[in-house]
Amino acid sequence: MGENRTLDYYIIAIISAFFMIGIGGTRPLISLVLANELNASTWQIGFIVSLYSFFPLFFAIKMGKWVDRVGSKKPLLISTFFGSIALMIPAFSPTIGGVGLSQLLSGISQTILAVSAQSYAGNTKDPRKREINIAIFSIGVSVGSLLGPLLGGLFSDRFGYFRAFFYLANLGLISSLFTLILRENRITSSHSPDSLKGNIFELLTIPNVRKAFFISSLILIGKDIFGTYFPLIATKSEISNTMIGFIIALNAGAGIFIRWVLPILLDRFTRNQVIVGSILISGITFLLFPLFNNLLLLTLLSLILGMGLGIGQPLSITTTILSLPEDRVGEGLGLRLTSNRLTQVLGPILFGIFANLLGFASVFLITGVFLIVGSVKAKVDVPFTDEKEN
């Protein structure tokens, strides 16, 4: 039985990987197709990118409650299928409106998948197994985030941007097939059913939950700015789509690598030292991007950034889950994603305005300063602070 249940967690990773091939492959293409094919302004690019997180900003909490009520399998099936269909829209409607609609719908689907998969992975009473399951899930996301941009760059160079959307969406549909063989994983809560009716914002009274949300927001700002604006500065340096996709894939690959190294880091340093150090390094790396247009140096900076940003996300997820009541994990993860989506809605719009007024370099400089300052506040409270984890 244990072996079969372990297999389910690997299936969750496979589902996440294929879906993220579609999402991760199309996201870097958004800014390129808007700028190069549809002649969108810098402000419009920022606005369209923010649409990905607009509806989840308002409904992520309800999505979390829904997952707590019905389990993870049904939401996973719905999100992977309709999310992949949404990614096809630009192939059939190659307009700014079509790209915007695709971003709206795929953003909703990705949020449902994130809540469902994280809840599934964290839904065990054994803390050690929970850490392992979340690590497996995170690796699946990273694999998809690695292969997606690589394939997106190759497809767009070979077939054009809009056909690339179609092919990537079909790869994402494979995740729905794996969802069909996944077993539901729900544990009986020791809490009263009435506890599910509590005020969602009560969860913010838990200090580590607030800190985990802040850490996650910092990391997402870095990821979104890199994914949106690196392709544009790379294009100005006359780097091909294939090479842009390759560099973004290396960035994701660095995130996978650092997840394997993470247990060693946590054995030698406290959780706080790892989190603060990774965000600080990421901020410094952002400051260096505008100083170079050499392909090799840009690739090296992308690798360093991938490792820096790749550390914090799984630690943020596990800190959140460990701090939440077991019968409100899905709800709490929904609140976490609401916080994330607020960051992802406001960030691209604000940074799009900066880019329009001050140029692309300003976006990297402002992001770098923001991460460096934020790293000082990215410390979780006891019992995690002095804990050395295996």
Instruction: Give the domain extent around 77.
Output: 2-182+199-375
Q: Is residue 119 part of a domain?
A: yes
The pLDDT of residue 381 is 64
| Confidence band for 193, pLDDT divided at 50, 70 and 90 | very low
Residue 302 has pLDDT above 70, yes or no: yes
pLDDT tier at 148 (50, 70, 90 boundaries)? very high
Which whole number is the average pLDDT over 296-304? 94
Task: Tell me if 40 is assigned to some domain.
Answer: yes
Per-residue pLDDT, 307? 92
Confidence check: pLDDT of 83 > 50: yes
296 — pLDDT class (breaks 50, 70, 90): very high
Task: Write out pLDDT tens, residues 235-265.
Answer: 888 899 899 999 998 998 888 888 788 888 8
Least reliable range by pLDDT among 31-35, 179-183, 345-349:
345-349
Looking at every residue in the chain, the average pLDDT score rounds to 84
Q: What is the pLDDT of residues 43-81, one digit of tens each?
A: 888 889 888 888 877 877 777 778 878 888 899 999 999
In a domain, 187, yes or no: no
Tell whether 380 is covered by a domain.
no
Asked whether residue 381 is domain-assigned, the answer is no
Instruction: Kindly state the average pLDDT of the residues 338-351.
Output: 81
Residue 142 has pLDDT above 70, yes or no: yes
pLDDT tens per residue, range 85-122: 999 999 999 999 999 999 999 999 998 998 888 888 87
Q: What is the CATH number of the domain that holds 69?
A: 1.20.1250.20
1 pLDDT more than 50: no
Residue 388 has pLDDT above 60, yes or no: no
Question: What percent of the chain has pLDDT above 70?
Answer: 91
Residue 187 has pLDDT above 60, yes or no: no
Is 69 part of any domain? yes
Q: How many structural domains are present in the chain?
A: 1
Does residue 337 surpass a pLDDT of 80? no
The arithmetic mean of pLDDT across residues 312-335, rounded, is: 77
With helix as H, strand as E and coil as C, how does the chain read?
Answer: CHHHHHHHHHHHHHHHHHHHHHHHHHHHHHHHHHHHCCCCCHHHHHHHHHHCCHHHHHHHHHHHHHHHHHCCHHHHHHHHHHHHHHHCHHHHCCCHHHHHHHHHHHHHHHHHHHHHHHHHHHCCCCHHHHHHHHHHHHHHHHHHHHHHHHHHHHHHHHHCHHHHHHHHHHHHHHHHHHHHCCCCCCCCCCCCHHHHHCCHHHHHHCHHHHHHHHHHHHHHHHHHHHHHHHHHHHHHCCCCHHHHHHHHHHHHHHHHHHHHHHHHHHHHCCHHHHHHHHHHHHHHHHHHHHHCCCHHHHHHHHHHHHHHHHHHHHHHHHHHHHHCCHHHHHHHHHHHHHHHHHHHHHHHHHHHHHHHHHCHHHHHHHHHHHHHHHHCCCCCCCCCCCCCCC
Q: What is the mean pLDDT of residues 178-192?
A: 69
Residue 192 lies in a domain: no
Between 154 and 383, name the one with better pLDDT.
154
Let me know if residue 323 belongs to a domain.
Answer: yes
